[in-house]
């Protein structure tokens, strides 16, 4: 049985969604954030030294990093892998890594700046400007297709879901990006996405 150590309002929601899409049986061990610090609880460090979520237990291994977990599940399941054509395959691999490598760092910076109050205010505008470059790029990628790697949803869309949901909450993803907003509506309407919410509990970015 696959076990997912799942922290509320975190990147691990994507793992639950992918598991539902693939129809793989799994168990959820759920953790709540500290309401004051919003950090993960110390119990997660008993599972893995970094104390971060998601952590996937499968085949005797504790696996971290959402991208690595997603690639493992795609190999294990049926579907959501790269398209058969070379351009689609390369886009799939690009977006799997882009979600964490390029999109998440400025979002985390915005989160930290927001918690600094007045001290962080001068940095917020330039950070939003930098992040808008990503939003414009991703909007252009959906100009001729519904999904990020082609005509069908893949794990690349799953990986991009968390940063783009967070962007809609705090980083300027609004009516200026109708393609991205429509994409969010499509993923939120999927039965597997809804089933993952039921398994994972409240999720502020849905």
Q: Which two tokens stand for residue 47?
A: 């599972």
Evaluated on CA atoms 178, 152, 148, 204, the torsion sign reads positive
Q: How far is Cα 116 from Cα 91, in angstroms, rounded to an integer?
A: 37
- Residue 178, classified by CB atoms within 10 Å of its CB into exposed (0-12), middle (13-18) or buried (19+), is exposed
Q: Which pLDDT value is given to residue 135?
A: 98
Render each residue's pLDDT in the chain as its tens digit; 206 residues: 899 999 999 999 999 999 999 999 999 999 999 888 888 999 999 999 999 999 999 999 999 999 999 999 999 999 999 999 999 999 999 999 999 999 999 999 998 888 778 777 888 888 999 999 999 999 999 999 999 999 999 999 999 999 999 999 989 999 999 999 999 999 999 999 999 999 999 898 87
Q: How far is Cα 149 from Cα 91, in angstroms, rounded to an integer?
A: 6
- What pTM does this model have? 0.94
* Mean pLDDT score of the chain: 94
Q: Which pLDDT value is given to residue 29?
A: 97
Q: Which pLDDT value is given to residue 188?
A: 97
């Amino acid at each position: 049985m696959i076990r997912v150590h799942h922290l509320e309002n975190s990147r691990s929601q994507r793992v639950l969604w992918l598991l539902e899409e693939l129809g793989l049986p799994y168990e959820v061990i759920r953790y709540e954030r500290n309401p004051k610090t919003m950090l993960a609880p110390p119990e997660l460090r008993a599972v893995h030294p970094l104390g971060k979520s998601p952590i996937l237990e499968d085949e005797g291994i504790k696996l971290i990093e959402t991208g690595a977990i997603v690639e493992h599940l795609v190999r294990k399941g049926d579907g959501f892998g790269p398209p058969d054509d070379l351009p689609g395959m390369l886009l799939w691999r690009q977006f799997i890594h882009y979600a964490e490598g390029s999109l998440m760092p400025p979002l985390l910076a915005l989160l930290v700046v927001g918690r600094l109050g007045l001290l962080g205010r001068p940095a917020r505008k330039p950070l939003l400007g930098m992040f808008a470059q990503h939003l414009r790029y991703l909007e252009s990628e959906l100009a001729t297709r519904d999904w990020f790697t082609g005509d069908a949803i893949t794990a690349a869309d799953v990986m991009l879901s968390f940063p783009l949901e967070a962007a809609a909450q705090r980083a300027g993803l609004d009516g200026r990006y109708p393609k991205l907003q429509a994409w969010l509506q499509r993923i939120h309407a999927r039965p597997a996405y809804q089933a993952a919410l039921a398994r994972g509990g409240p999720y502020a970015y849905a």
